[in-house]
Amino acid sequence: MIERIAALFVPPDVEPGMAGKSPSWSSVVLLTQLRWIAVFGQLATIVVVAAALKVRLPLAPLLLAPLLLMVINLSVASLLKRRRSFSQRELFSALMIDVVALCWQLYHSGGATNPFTFLFLLQIVIGAIILEARWSWLVALNACLCMVLLTFHHVPLRLPDRYAAEHFHLYIYGSLFCFVLAAVLLIVFVARLDRNRRDSDAQLAAFRQQVAEEDHIIRMGLLASGAAHELGTPLASISVILGDWSREPLVANDPDMAADLADVRRELARCKTIVSGILMSAGEVRGIDPAVTGVRAFIEDIAAEWRARIPGELRLVDRVSEDVRIIADPGLRQVIGNVVDNAAEVSPELVVMEAWLEDAGDGPRLVLTVSDRGPGFAPEMLDRIGQPYASTKGRDGGGLGLFLVVNVIRKLGGSVSVENRRDGGASVQLVIPLATLALSVTDPGEDA
């Protein structure tokens, strides 16, 4: 029986270990807290009525409901540790458990003559806040059906002789206590439920912002890949022309012109490499000649590349404990290089790159931190990092670098965090799940 009740809170489409807590999770927490209040309130009321007022109560059925609610609460508490969201059907089921429990208690304690029937209104109000319209109407309908049942069918209270003539006075006192209790619970719980609703609106706004940013990324990617395709033809023509020039006697016999021509061809080759990288990043990276490497080699290659490109020192602190084999993603290499480039721009003397692996609930993650000795981020910029055109560099297009970094890492299932260091400078930390990069047995590069 208990397992069936607990199963109401376990849908097949939600997996344990989810990162974010939804407003529905908070609603279940509030319902659980309200249920604990009901348990202790019912026990206290039974003790007062039986001991102080000397009313003979059917203790066995009245104590059964609080006991069952306690068991349900303990079962839900274990689920709250594994779950991070609940469906409307589950919230409705949780609220109906409280409605049925209250109906059971009232049935054995006077039915509609019990002033605590007004607590049904509290459950209807809560249902109207946390549930969609169709589910909240079902809660109201079931509460009304319970009232109809309690009006015509209930176990009458057996009052002592001294209270039998003052039955209406006891009802008035009970109604006053019930009114105060309902008012307090409404203020406390409805205010907290409304806060959950505002949190849900804020989360929805954040999702909309994320969709807008990803749409911006798609447009930029289309423009970049289109430009790369357009540049391919003139670069190929220039390469052919330079090859013809290099064979001309006038150029071949002039060392200065030959050296200049060699520099131009070298820079042209670099341009073609960049264009090829853009086109590769726009496609399915693992399907286009994937490069298999280790985490340590991947980080060291990036560090070696940027040591040759920045004027100062790039210090690599390698704390990778296990050299896991991964697919070297050109897009990831590019965004890491973007972070290093930003750091070198404000701190040309020294950039520190630190890498290590850490275990998480969803598997190992690569953590890469790039620190500089520059002025750090302005306080007003810390909350805007990753938004397009959020930059203090004062030039057109500023801020797109970190915008790309944040969105690419987010696409890989990771996260980006920035902070100002206590001893000066800034630090950017990239956290990337290895599951998105790790080499699997079905990868075509397994034998590479």
3-state SS assignment for residue 293: strand
* 25 and 156 in a common domain: yes
Residue with tokens 């469906």: 87
Among the three residues 126, 150, 165, which one is the final residue of a domain in this structure? 165
Q: Given this model, what pLDDT does residue 12 score?
A: 36
| Count of domains observed in the chain | 3
User: What are the residues whose beta carbons fall under 8 Å from the beta carbon of 171, sequence distance 6 or more?
Assistant: 113, 115
User: What are the residues whose beta carbons fall under 8 Å from the beta carbon of 164, sequence distance 6 or more?
Assistant: none
Average pLDDT, the chain: 77
Is residue 443 a part of any domain in this protein? no
Is residue 196 a part of any domain in this protein? no
* 259 and 123 in a common domain: no
Contact 129, 197 (CB under 8 A): yes
User: What are the residues whose beta carbons fall under 8 Å from the beta carbon of 211, sequence distance 6 or more?
Assistant: none
pLDDT band for position 444 (50/70/90)? very low
3-state SS assignment for residue 312: coil
CATH number, domain with residue 342? 3.30.565.10
* 325 and 268 in a common domain: no
291, HSE (Cβ side, Cα atoms, 13 Å): 13
Q: Given this model, what pLDDT does residue 4 score?
A: 37
| Cα–Cα distance for residue pair 432/328, rounded to 1 Å | 13
Instruction: Spell 286-300 as b/e; 16+ CB within 10 A means b.
Output: beeebbbbbbbebbb
Q: Residue 276's domain spans which residues?
A: 213-286
pLDDT at 230 over 90: no
Helices (H), 131-190: 133-152, 161-164, 167-185
Q: pLDDT tens digit string along 99-150?
A: 999 899 889 888 888 888 888 888 888 888 888 889 999 999 999 999 999 9
Q: pLDDT tens digit string along 143-189?
A: 999 999 999 988 887 776 666 666 676 778 777 877 887 788 778 77
Mean pLDDT for 325-347 is 82
